[in-house]
Amino acid sequence: LQKAVEIFPEYAEAHNQLGAVYAEAGEYVKAVDALKKTLSLKPSGANAFYNLGCVYIRLKKFAEAAESLERAKNLD
């Protein structure tokens, strides 16, 4: 995934998947960065908002989590 975003920096889904992988690895700062990049490329990305909300929950940033999850729900 890192190679994919290096070669195709506008590939939103690769950034989204990379964010999910970072989250699973506990690298939450990198996850947030990758997911925000996804949303800058594809602002209607419900999956990216959902993934970002889950990361914010792990970071105990509940207001941000609620906002992200609400946006995911509204887009889905």
pLDDT digits (tens, 9 = 90+) for 24-43: 999 999 999 999 999 999 99
pLDDT of residue 76 exceeding 90, the answer is: no
The answer to whether the beta carbons of residues 56 and 36 sit under 8 Å apart is no
Give me the DSSP letters along 39-69.
Answer: HHH-TT-HHHHHHHHHHHHHTT-HHHHHHHH
Between CA 39 and CA 16 the distance in angstroms is 8
| Structure letter (DSSP) for residue 9 | T
Whole-model pTM? Answer: 0.92
